[in-house]
Chains A and B, each alone.
Chain A
Amino acid sequence: MSAPRPADPHPETTGTASPALLRDFYRTMLTARLLDEEAVALQRQGVFPAYVSLRGQEAAQVGSAAALDRDHDFAFPTYREMAVALALDVDMVGYLASHRALWHGGLYDPMRSRFAPINAVVGGPVPHAVGWALGERLRGDPGCAIAYFGDGASSEGDVHEAMNFAAVFAAPVVFFCQNNQWALSVPNDRQVAGGSIAARAAGYGMPGVTVDGNDVVAVHAAVREALERARSGAGPSVIEARTYRLGPHSTSDDPGRYRDPDEERRWRERDPIARLRAVLERDGHADTAFFEEAEREAGEQAIRIRDGVSSAPPPGGEEMFTHVYREPTEALRAQQRAWREEAEL
């Protein structure tokens, strides 16, 4: 396990960011990559029942998350936003607890983290971002919401309804689509009529832009601009970050059944981490010592989180009943007592 090296000798990026910010992006993206590799291994070793890799989408996730105002904004993830969580300083043992099946939504505090519980319903959280954002506007607060979703989710009615609602209510929300080309086994050309999710924004009367999702600087700039717009009261917008799911849909999936290895190879050559490294090297923003240090730190952090989630205690059976209601019913309490009596036989 080591940092990907550039296959493309011509680093490319659009926009600018400060060298310090670029180095931050690199460290976070690399940590996400190494942690992702550990998570895949944990599934193969029987620790996680399943895992969904974000490999290849680090730039889209870290670049977008880094644009958020940590004190005011709120992110609504799907189930593949591990690098967003990392960039937002979410408790990563608590995050990965979801994949160890300790608790479906994860064991971090979503309200304090400003990062909603992991959500496995494709498209489901997108309207929540609109509602959250409307809540800010109604109260006169400055926060914006970002809704993460994929190319597959863009087909769901909920996503279309959310976009229309957001525009009608001028809600301060950014619809951030990571178009990773494959919705499980279904490619873009069988999923996205018209070929562009960003283009759909026009139909809902809001701006829509497409960015190179493997260019962390471009992603960051686009999301920053959309957030500024939303915060100024000018309403929602759509950003489509074109990227690629380098791994399978999940550890239960086998892309060999539906995907051309040449396509995977071409996208591997556009690895977002290698590209960022090339930019840092080209512009003299980082030296060998930086990359060595970044790799060492990222590896240590990945192992710390891995060991933390591997050894986290499983929840007790009582927890099944604890959070069903704020005001539990007597009938449910009776079921809990019956459960306990049987458990203590």
Chain B
Amino acid sequence: MAEQTFALPDLGEGLVEATVLEWLVRPGERVERNQPLVELETTKSAVEIPSPCSGTVVRLHASEEETLRVGAALVTFEVDSAAGIVGTVPGGERPTRRVRLRPPAE
């Protein structure tokens, strides 16, 4: 058993956030893959998110009517197998760099 957190995906071509309309599961509840988890609203539409894994709901990371950024934690599951959660989520725009600059001599 392992805990895994499912983050809010981009639900439609570059959307940056979504609002929780209604939770369809509760902490402690057993869910099967593709079971409806939550209804979200984006600027484009209202969508139901199917569970990405089978397991037990441990935590819901947002309350109803709360708006989340894409990439923010949505639900934490205790999953049957560690490979349970599929996919990747855009990690937001946290700039990362490797190149350092040397200022010019004044």
Q: Given contacts A1-B34, A310-B87, are A45 and B44 in contact (CB under 8 A)?
A: no
B50 to chain A, nearest CB (A): 4
Which residue in chain B gives the minimum CB-CB distance to A254? B45
Query: How many chain B residues touch A (Cβ–Cβ < 8 Å)?
Result: 22
Contact with A along B3-45 (1 / 0, CB 8 A): 0001101111100000000000000000000100000000011
CA distance A248 to B45 in the complex (A): 10
Contacts of A41 in B (CB 8 A): 34, 50
Which residue in chain A gives the minimum CB-CB distance to B12? A252
Which residue in chain A gives the minimum CB-CB distance to B85? A45
**Which A18-65 residues sit within 8 Å CB-CB of chain B?**
37-38, 41-47, 49-50
Tell me if B102 counts as interface (CB < 8 A to partner A).
Answer: no
- Please state if A251 and B87 are interface contacts (CB–CB under 8 Å): no
- Please state if B45 and A45 are interface contacts (CB–CB under 8 Å): no
CA distance A43 to B12 in the complex (A): 9
B41 to chain A, nearest CB (A): 10
B8 to chain A, nearest CB (A): 8
Contacts of A256 in B (CB 8 A): 45-46
Contacts of A12 in B (CB 8 A): none
Interface residues of chain B: helix, strand, loop or mixed (majority) = loop
Contacts of A225 in B (CB 8 A): none
CA distance A42 to B87 in the complex (A): 8
CA distance A250 to B103 in the complex (A): 49
Contacts of B6 in A (CB 8 A): 45
Q: Given contacts A253-B44, A254-B44, are A45 and B87 in contact (CB under 8 A)?
A: yes
- Please state if A345 and B9 are interface contacts (CB–CB under 8 Å): no
Contacts of A1 in B (CB 8 A): 34
B12 to chain A, nearest CB (A): 4
CA distance A253 to B52 in the complex (A): 21
CA distance A144 to B55 in the complex (A): 50
Tell me if B58 counts as interface (CB < 8 A to partner A).
Answer: no
A57 to chain B, nearest CB (A): 21
A338 to chain B, nearest CB (A): 14
Contact partner, A254, options B46, B52, B89, B99, Cβ 8 Å: B46
Tell me if B98 counts as interface (CB < 8 A to partner A).
Answer: yes
Contacts of B82 in A (CB 8 A): none
CA distance A345 to B97 in the complex (A): 10
- Please state if A46 and B89 are interface contacts (CB–CB under 8 Å): yes
CA distance A49 to B13 in the complex (A): 7
Which 8 residue pairs are nearest across A and B when measured between Cβ atoms?
A46-B9, A254-B45, A47-B87, A252-B12, A45-B52, A41-B50, A46-B87, A310-B86
**With A41-B50, A252-B11 given, can you name 8 additional A-B contacts, CB distance below 8 Å?**
A37-B34, A41-B34, A46-B89, A47-B86, A49-B10, A50-B12, A50-B13, A253-B44
